[in-house]
Amino acid sequence: MKRLTALSAFAALSLLPGVATAQTAELTWQDGVLGSTVQYNLSGPLGHIFALVPSLTAGPTPLAIFDPLDPRSLDIGLDLFSFATFGALLPTATVTLPLPIIPGFSGTELHAQFITIDPAGGPTLVDQLSNPAVFIMGQSGDMLGTRSDVQTARQGHSATVLDDGRVLIVGGDEPDGAGNLNTTNDFELYDPQTQTFVAGGPLTQARSTQTATKLLDGRVLIVGGYPVNGPSTASATAELFDPITNTTTLAAAPSMGRTLHTATLLNDGRVLVVGGGAKFDLNDVFGSLATVVKTTQLYNPATNSWAAGPNLPSPLFAHQATLLGDGKVLISSGVEVASLFGIPIPGISSKCHRFNPATNSFVSTASMPQGRAYHGQIALPSGGAMAVGGATGDFTALAFSTHTDVFTYNHLANAWTTAGQLAVGRAYPNLVDVGGSIKVLAGLKTVDITTGSGTPATEVESSTYTGLTWTTAATQTLPREVARAVTIDNGKRVLIVGVGDNGLPAVDKTAEVFVP
């Protein structure tokens, strides 16, 4: 498309013949990393002429400066009008603009908007105005803010990427600034197109440390968490979030309440829920351990029903579960709970299991080279998995330490391989695949796994899929004790949500975006 610098040329385009429709002008963007390009996707009335204008300001700019009869205003400035792009909607169009690496642009908002002209004419020169598109520019390695704070400060929440690119943030505990936590009964949504958080509706009940699993039809299954009648009882309920209505409704109830469990989507659309406990009470650690189970359950969204799965050899929590390339589920390590004269005896395990959906059974699986709990785990493109970090220790002495070890699992050979070392050991790490590399974010450098507290890690570490060499790719702007990180924008960015330590009396409600 030819790029013009004079409005007279733009006006001349309006004389071209075309076919008008009532379709609304809409603008979206993608990519947008400095040193690359930003792609704008336009849709609107078929045959209309468009002018897409970028800007570093939010306007407003009265259209009366072009057409005295038009009382409307653009939502952008005209400082970059020389980079305006003109063309015709068929009824869509794509405009790609280069974004040079200019350090001063990092953290700066880039706005854009387009207008349409109806070749058949109308009461004003401009027919339709699109929505403004805006994002914060950054280059690889940048840690940026979002354009709005979260609606509610949270820890113990879940973060799930929806099919439309939004992120569903569910539940968690809200700190009040005096060290008290209140479990929330709401959710909010992060929109990558606007880089802002929007309040959602209520959950069916307050819950924290629940699982949230996106189903094949785009809905999200939310299972367990606490509280129900008090701060320590796990919820024997499940609910479904519908991204079309942006509401949650009760699903069929599982057999028991669970927290510190896992939930994994199977290839056939069912969800495997494994282990966990019915109670989470920091004032009654051994009483909570007594509620940990070895049972599994399977949720079928087609029938909204639960079925019993096979039992694990021992009660288990703080493990990880990952869908492998062959359709089996790898369940690794965690805290196994034995019983001696009715007294629960916890221990860090290296045992692993694989669930076979075809036979509804567990198959023999190699143990991890070292036991760990609260580690991170992620599927690899090879069909295997990578396990990172975690914690180990002595429940009797209440002494715990974090791991730096990284292991990869080959599902074809049923074997673990030592893959490398993180620079910073951490429990509760977030692992994300940004296409070509794995990033490790947040987590706790020091940890007491009876309370889930410790010193947050701020370093973002990066490796290829082999995990052999790890480098520090960035540093978070704030330590975030129980943060959740997910990839957004097709892997171009990573969203980090969780209460930060800002050193102020006011509770932190910021979020961060990492550019890989």
What pLDDT is stored for residue 3 in this prediction?
A: 37
Average pLDDT over residues 180-209: 95
How many angstroms separate the CA atoms of 60 and 261, rounded? 51
Give CA angle at 193 (192, 194), nearest 5°.
90
CA-to-CA separations, 85 to 82, 262, 345, in angstroms, rounded = 9, 49, 68
What pLDDT is stored for residue 17 in this prediction?
A: 42
Count of C-beta atoms within a 10 Å radius of residue 83: 15
Whole-number percent of the chain with pLDDT over 90: 85
Count of C-beta atoms within a 10 Å radius of residue 355: 27
What pLDDT is stored for residue 229 in this prediction?
A: 57
State yes or no: pLDDT of 14 exceeds 50: no
User: What is the rounded average pLDDT for all residues in the chain?
Assistant: 93
Which token pair is 213?
């699993």
Count of C-beta atoms within a 10 Å radius of residue 85: 21
Q: What is the DSSP string of 466-516?
A: T-S--EEEEE-SS-BTT-EEEEEGGGTEEEEES-B--SSSSPP--EEEE--
CA atoms within 13 A on the CB side of 118: 15
CATH 3.40.50.2000 at 7-136, yes or no = no
With left for phi above 0 and alpha for psi between -120 and 50, is residue 348 left, alpha or beta? Answer: beta
Average pLDDT over residues 453-467: 95
| Strand extents, DSSP E, 268-365 | 271-274, 296-300, 305-308, 316-317, 320-323, 329-340, 343-356, 361-363
Whole-number percent of the chain with pLDDT over 70: 95
User: pLDDT per residue over 362-409, tens digit each?
Assistant: 999 999 999 999 999 999 999 999 999 999 998 878 889 999 999 999
How many angstroms separate the CA atoms of 320 and 156, rounded? 16
DSSP H or E stretch at residue 7: helix 7-13
Residue 379, SS3? strand
CA-to-CA separations, 122 to 23, 102, 180, in angstroms, rounded = 16, 42, 61
State yes or no: pLDDT of 171 exceeds 60: yes
Confidence of residue 228 (pLDDT cuts 50, 70, 90): low
Average pLDDT over residues 203-230: 91
User: pLDDT per residue over 505-516, tens digit each?
Assistant: 899 999 999 999
Residue with tokens 């009964």: 185
What pLDDT is stored for residue 264 in this prediction?
A: 98
Confidence of residue 342 (pLDDT cuts 50, 70, 90): confident
Q: What is the DSSP string of 76-103?
A: S-STTGGG-EEEE-SSEEEEEEE----G
CA 314, 403, 437, 219 torsion-angle sign: positive
User: pLDDT per residue over 114-170, tens digit each?
Assistant: 999 999 999 999 999 999 999 999 999 999 999 999 999 999 999 999 999 999 999
Count of C-beta atoms within a 10 Å radius of residue 384: 22
User: pLDDT per residue over 59-117, tens digit each?
Assistant: 999 999 999 999 999 999 999 999 999 999 999 999 999 999 998 999 999 999 999 99
Give the global pTM: 0.93
Which ranges constitute the DSSP H helices of 206-304? 285-289
Closest CA to 206 of 165, 235, 176, 178: 235
- The contacts of residue 178 (CB under 8 Å, 6+ apart) are none
Average pLDDT over residues 291-299: 97
Which token pair is 311?
């039992």
What pLDDT is stored for residue 279 in this prediction?
A: 86
How many angstroms separate the CA atoms of 29 and 96, rounded? 10
Average pLDDT over residues 201-212: 95
> Of the given ranges (49-58, 262-271, 275-284, 452-461), which has the lowest mean pLDDT?
275-284
Residue with tokens 């209505």: 245
Q: Which residue has the higher pLDDT, 48 or 17?
A: 48
